[in-house]
Structure 1
Amino acid sequence: MLKKELNIFTFSDLLLHFPNRHIDKTKVSAIAEISPATEYIQVAGKLLQMTISGEKRSRRLTAILKDNTGILELTWFQGISWVQKSLTEGMQYLVFGRTGFFNGKPQIVHPEIEPYVPAKADGKQFLEPVYPTTEKLKVKSLNGRQIGKLTYTLLAQLKAEDIPENLPQYLVEKLRLMGRYEAYRNIHFPASPVLYERALQRLKFEELFIAQVRLNLVRLQRHNSSRGVVFEKVGDYFNTFYSKYLPFQLTGAQKRVLKEIRTDTGRGRQMNRLLQGDVGSGKTIVALLSMLLAADNGYQSCLMAPTEILAQQHYNGLSELLKEMPVEIALLTGSTKAAQRKKILKGLQEDTIHFVVGTHAVIEDTVQFKNLGLVIVDEQHRFGVAQRARLWEKAVIPPHVLVMTATPIPRTLAMTAYGDLDYSIMDELPPGRQPVTTVHRYETARANVMDFVKTEITKGRQAYFIYPLIEESEKLSYEDLMQGYEQVKSFFPDPPYRISMVHGRQPAEQKETNMQRFVTGDTQLMVSTTVIEVGVNVPNASVMVIESAEKFGLSQLHQLRGRVGRGSEKSFCILLTSVKASKDARERIKIMCATNDGFKIAEKDLELRGPGDIEGTRQSGALNFRIASIVNDKELLEKAKTEAEQLCSEDPELDMAKNLQLKIHLQSQGRKNAWSKIS
């Protein structure tokens, strides 16, 4: 049962099944103290009136617990026969559980119950662990307290050498950490709250530190073993563009990232860098300057985008920036005509094309480069690992890799899920970009919102109306969008207004055509689902109305908002919600209205949803912590990261005598634990 319900296979697993709380066994409350605000309580009294009512699946056992102050109803819906046999009317019992009220009277459903033996009043606080369990285990008399008895019996038989230290002794002393053996004893059965807290800190740090050491060793191994082409110099292409054609002053963040890329590409090892920057932070210019650096050293570059429209926009933007430069740039997508495609393939093979921008089309076998040195992948989570790997295979020495994302990743998440990569952060916006004004309106104010949009369109601007994708049903999403489209049409009749509509059911060609009409200004309004979340660049669009905004996550709202505010005009994002929006949804809306900072929003998103739900995060063992939390233990994580980097830098093979215990522990993690199995 323990195997199936809690994944406890060995004594080691049992030891790692930590209690979720402790209760003071000496603290017994009076039944009269129970109120609607009470969550859990421990009471003692005489058991009376055990009765069974109902039939088959609706059977239930009820009993009354009475003390000097009142009565409490106890109820069981499962394991009724076993409970009835194990309890005796008239005996004194100690009862613990979550309280509730039924017909105005206090009640505990499926309480933890045992014969009452008053704790010794010797002045010591007796903290008893309560473990996570399941209803099926409770029926088999394996409730949280019973698991505690198993753990107590196990710990009584263990000696310090059975739980050897796995952190270097100098680190334990430096950080004044509790020893590992003592930590396990005190996490389960602490003699005091202070000792419990010290044990908790020790085991959390251990978990975070070992994860960071692993990530650092992986990164060091990659640095030491992966060959890469060498970009030895900064030459004419880079310098000419930088001094003559750069459209604006680089931000401090852009300069810092370029310096990191310059260092990476000059040392003979493959660069593998994640560049994360908020919407509009100027990642494209960094990408272009990196490509010019490649060209200066005789290498070709490839920029891969997830959609045809985004590839087209990258190509148009880069072509405009490079129009005065002696650089050949090509666009290769699924819709490139055969004659043009043949010409591009020839140019790539003969090295007459310096840069190619494309979609998945660039990874096809027919696309061959003479001298590929740099691959840039935009919105990397939109591509599979196998797809990206096919690009690396197009060169004898793997090209340098720069993957870019406009989805800011919280620092704590980047340190764990992406800790094996080198990553750069761009947290400044170029001069001239105005922050988007974000406001919340209820659906009841729709007419006023539409009037505001009309005012903006009269000024010559454009506007988006975005509808949510309903995950459970494509049909519902489509109906919702069509209903919204008709509603928008009723406010903006044709003529004089023209509307584009884009959704997932449209053929790709129609979708591209409708998007292009909006991009070129042929239509003033775009009604869409979230397919426009990434990549559509329309500087003239100054308003975004997000319908049913309560149905969107924080990061998605931020990504959508990034589609406006791309020109010099003042831009607005209007979040329309139902008046019945949940408390969590209202919290998300409040955050959106308060800040334009994608990194702050990502941090809040992590706090609200937890790491497992954040879009684009990798399924990484680095996040599977038993006791530590990257949300609540940020300071410990920073400390663990610092210490792990220092240790790996000083002793990358963990060969020093002082790090031997850690090395043995890491090696043992790859093997099955030798402890006896629990049958």
Structure 2
Amino acid sequence: MFASDLDTTIEFLKGVGPKRAEMLQKELGIFTYGQLLTYYPFRYIDRTRFYKVSELHPDLPYVQVLGRITGKETIGEKHKKRIVARLTDETGTIELVWFQSLKWVEENIMRGKVYIAFGKPAVFNGSFSISHPELETYPRPVTVTGNMTLQPVYNSTEKLKKFSLDSKGIQKLQALLIEQCLPEIKETMPAYILEKYRLAGRREALLNIHFPKDSTALQHAERRLKFEELFFIQLQLLSSKQFREMKFKGHLFSTVGERVNHFYKDILPFELTGAQKRVIKEIRIDTQRGVQMNRLVQGDVGSGKTVVALMSMLLANDNGYQACIMAPTEILARQHYHSIASLLDGKVAKVDILTGNSTKKQRTLLHQQLESGEIDILVGTHALIEDKVKFKNLGLVVIDEQHRFGVEQRAKLWRKNSIPPHILVMTATPIPRTLAMTVYGDLDVSMIDELPVGRKPIETRHLFEGQRLRMFGFMKTEIAKGRQVYVVYPLIKESEKLDLLHLEAGIEQMRYQFPLPDYQISIVHGKMPNVDKQFEMQRFIDGKTQIMVATTVIEVGVNVPNASVMIIENAERFGLSQLHQLRGRVGRGAEQSYCILMSGQKLSKEGRRRLETMVMTNNGFEISEIDLELRGPGDLAGTQQSGVLDLKLANLVKDQQILQEARNTVIEIFHEDPLLSLPENALLKRFTDKKSRGIALDKIS
């Protein structure tokens, strides 16, 4: 794909050598010329503009100030030691402060000399200062590489700076590299795509991303490189999907038999929504094509995904196959087991559960029953992937995932059968569109986008610490109506001790406000033994206690239709999707439910936006988009470790349109030329061949 020159090891680039090469490899993962070339600047500085001291204000980004050093002193001892210099022009003076590299500053920054100081101005004690400014002597030497209009800025690290590879050092290497290799850069995209979307050529784009002529050239370069990045991700995902559909046959679920019909007509206690019926139909069509199904079902909290999964599993049973459903945690697995067992009510199919805590005796029996085909539906955690677990004939796997189940893990399930089982992936909360197209781009997506009939939307309110008495009053009113209340506290590893103190204090206050014998309180937190947890939860489920105080969500993963109030303490510390998931724990019955978000008076801008979003909407799809916008894609459920999203330039929030264009283009290409055999697609064919050689076929899933 690249000219051989770009595969050259980085140490042979002039000015690098073995030591710097080792640092670039360790710190930035750059091993070759080609990798350095795609290490892009993260911003650009307009170096034509100088500010006077009197023009500075704290909202300015990075600025350049020209002035003379009129004073320099060392202040403080040991780790508080710093050097403060004064830079003066005709309108005033600012302070330049260094906390590190003091020896260098001491030796190189001279009083009385004129410098260009560059950095971000901040106000400290009423006057402006710049911490760790970049300094250049004035006038600038003629040899400065690159243009002096938009200057690239590269991310560097403390260790690299010791080897003179700060942003400037990296810029020098890029300038050398581009000079040397520019003629060798080959085009990677077919000409007809470049024409259709008016994209810049690769050579021009790489030159202008590092050293843009002007802002228009920079925009064209960014658009081209973002498109290319997203395009090849889609090409990889969709070609592996296509390959899978050609190579692997799927079980045929040709009949809708006794079990599905009996369950649907006689056992199911409620009517399915239109969306549920539509998704079940999509699954039925998928399982009659003779191709392995890989489908993602996403729906909002409480939209009835479990019933859809159960009916799909019964469909497998009707056709003589077993099914299993996997959950990420034991508590969720138990919850699935209970809800499936109670829906089936001992009829239609034999259901069992296997988790990390199952005893040896239980396991042995279970393994026998699985191999003989007695068990129709198995619920479990990751323990299901263990090699010991053998099915008689596994036809469908439902994966309920909080985190993305690794490709490897899905492949392991496959090896349980010669023909791979159909795979249905369910997500706990909706995934933003762009993420569904990238991280789950190799799956077909179904949406359950309506809530069951008779559900009243949950009313959400945000109260500050000062309004706590109102909250207690509200709890008492609801409990008097015979309802139950959840109170959830955050508990995070980093601040565990402090969080437990808050919890203790909260419980103390609860006991004072809700004294025995009139009120009973259940307490559940991660530090308790499992037996005690189960006991406390059971008391709450049976209605013996009115208030359940708990840390974090999943431990409260039980359906209690009578619980109608969810109070979230320190709500500003939870992420949006977490808040939304917690809120979904109430509103399971026919009564009006409430969610109260308690927070401190001081909120960050993002914290405020999260709480406002919760009050404004109950729609999980909207919430997921705002969550993506606030957090950026890196944080979202395990996208990093899945390795699909190693994006250098594209941004899933801002570049949705480019992503859509790229995906549509790939879909069109495969529609017209499934094997990429046309001459104009030769470049793409080379890419997919290279990729599939790198992946063992049994790992593709």
Instruction: State whether structure 2 residue 546 is matched by structure 1 residue 524.
Output: yes
Question: Does the Cα contact within 8 Å between 1:575 and 1:589 map onto a contact in 2?
Answer: yes
Per the alignment, in what secondary structure is the counterpart of residue 158 of structure 1? helix
What are the Cα deviations for residues 171-207 of structure 1, in whole angstroms up to 9, with x where unaligned?
0000000111111111122222111111111111111
Aligned to 2:38: 16
Question: Does the Cα contact within 8 Å between 1:47 and 1:92 map onto a contact in 2?
Answer: yes
What are the Cα deviations for residues 357-383 of structure 1, in whole angstroms up to 9, with x where unaligned?
455676677765433322223346397
Match of 2:652 among 615, 630, 633: 630
Instruction: State whether structure 2 residue 111 is matched by structure 1 residue 111.
Output: no
Q: Tell me, in whole angstroms, the C-alpha distance in 2 between the residues paired with 1:187 and 1:428.
A: 45
Instruction: State whether structure 2 residue 438 is matched by structure 1 residue 416.
Output: yes
Q: Percent identity?
A: 53
**TM-score between the two structures when normalised by the length of structure 2:** 0.85
Displacement of 1:290 in angstroms is: 0.9
Per the alignment, in what secondary structure is the counterpart of residue 113 of structure 1? strand
Q: Tell me, in whole angstroms, the C-alpha distance in 2 between the residues paired with 1:184 and 1:311.
A: 50
Question: Does the Cα contact within 8 Å between 1:308 and 1:333 map onto a contact in 2?
Answer: no
Displacement of 1:540 in angstroms is: 0.8
Q: 1:497 to 1:326 in 2, by over 3 A?
A: closer
Displacement of 1:629 in angstroms is: 0.8
Instruction: State whether structure 2 residue 669 is matched by structure 1 residue 647.
Output: yes
Q: Tell me, in whole angstroms, the C-alpha distance in 2 between the residues paired with 1:367 and 1:146.
A: 56
Match of 1:329 among 350, 361, 365: 350
Q: 1:619 to 1:460 in 2, by over 3 A?
A: same
Aligned to 1:133: 156
Match of 2:241 among 216, 219, 232: 219
Tell me the matched-pair count: 667
Question: Does the Cα contact within 8 Å between 1:253 and 1:426 map onto a contact in 2?
Answer: yes
Q: Tell me, in whole angstroms, the C-alpha distance in 2 between the residues paired with 1:280 and 1:601.
A: 15
- The equivalences for 1:646-665 within 5 A come to 646-665=668-687
Per the alignment, in what secondary structure is the counterpart of residue 381 of structure 1? coil
Displacement of 1:139 in angstroms is: 5.8
Name stretches of at least 5 consecutive residues in structure 1 with no aligned partner.
Answer: 673-679
Q: 1:570 to 1:587 in 2, by over 3 A?
A: same
Q: Tell me, in whole angstroms, the C-alpha distance in 2 between the residues paired with 1:54 and 1:390.
A: 60
Aligned to 2:199: 177
2:167 partner amino acid: G
Aligned to 1:677: none
Q: 1:582 to 1:133 in 2, by over 3 A?
A: same
Per the alignment, in what secondary structure is the counterpart of residue 569 of structure 1? coil
**TM-score between the two structures when normalised by the length of structure 1:** 0.87
Displacement of 1:435 in angstroms is: 1.2
Aligned to 1:147: 170
Instruction: State whether structure 2 residue 260 is matched by structure 1 residue 260.
Output: no
Question: Does the Cα contact within 8 Å between 2:72 and 2:84 map onto a contact in 1?
Answer: yes
Aligned to 1:675: none
Aligned to 1:676: none
Q: Tell me, in whole angstroms, the C-alpha distance in 2 between the residues paired with 1:499 and 1:404.
A: 34
1:645 partner amino acid: I
Match of 1:164 among 151, 168, 186: 186
Displacement of 1:462 in angstroms is: 1.1
Question: Does the Cα contact within 8 Å between 1:465 and 1:544 map onto a contact in 2?
Answer: yes
Aligned to 1:567: 589
- The equivalences for 1:328-477 within 5 A come to 328-333=349-354, 348-351=370-373, 353-358=375-380, 369-379=391-401, 381=403, 392-472=414-494, 474-477=496-499
What are the Cα deviations for residues 394-445 of structure 1, in whole angstroms up to 9, with x where unaligned?
5443322223222222121222222233333322212111111111112232
Question: Does the Cα contact within 8 Å between 2:189 and 2:228 map onto a contact in 1?
Answer: yes
Moved more, 519-528 or 56-65: 56-65
Q: Tell me, in whole angstroms, the C-alpha distance in 1 between the residues paired with 2:389 and 2:691.
A: 43
Displacement of 1:555 in angstroms is: 1.4
Q: 1:504 to 1:57 in 2, by over 3 A?
A: closer
1:403 partner amino acid: V
Q: Tell me, in whole angstroms, the C-alpha distance in 2 between the residues paired with 1:619 and 1:387.
A: 13
What are the Cα deviations for residues 540-564 of structure 1, in whole angstroms up to 9, with x where unaligned?
1111111222222211111111110
Aligned to 1:590: 612
Displacement of 1:288 in angstroms is: 2.2
2:348 partner amino acid: V
Instruction: State whether structure 2 residue 497 is matched by structure 1 residue 483.
Output: no
Q: Tell me, in whole angstroms, the C-alpha distance in 1 between the residues paired with 2:563 and 2:361.
A: 35
Name stretches of at least 5 consecutive residues in structure 2 with no aligned partner.
Answer: 1-19, 695-701
Displacement of 1:603 in angstroms is: 1.8
Per the alignment, in what secondary structure is the counterpart of residue 472 of structure 1? helix
What are the Cα deviations for residues 311-359 of structure 1, in whole angstroms up to 9, with x where unaligned?
5554554455445x96133333568899998887666555455434455
Displacement of 1:72 in angstroms is: 4.2
Question: Does the Cα contact within 8 Å between 2:559 and 2:588 map onto a contact in 1?
Answer: yes
- The equivalences for 1:576-615 within 5 A come to 576-615=598-637
Question: Does the Cα contact within 8 Å between 2:354 and 2:378 map onto a contact in 1?
Answer: no
Per the alignment, in what secondary structure is the counterpart of residue 623 of structure 1? coil
Aligned to 2:61: 39
RMSD: 3.6
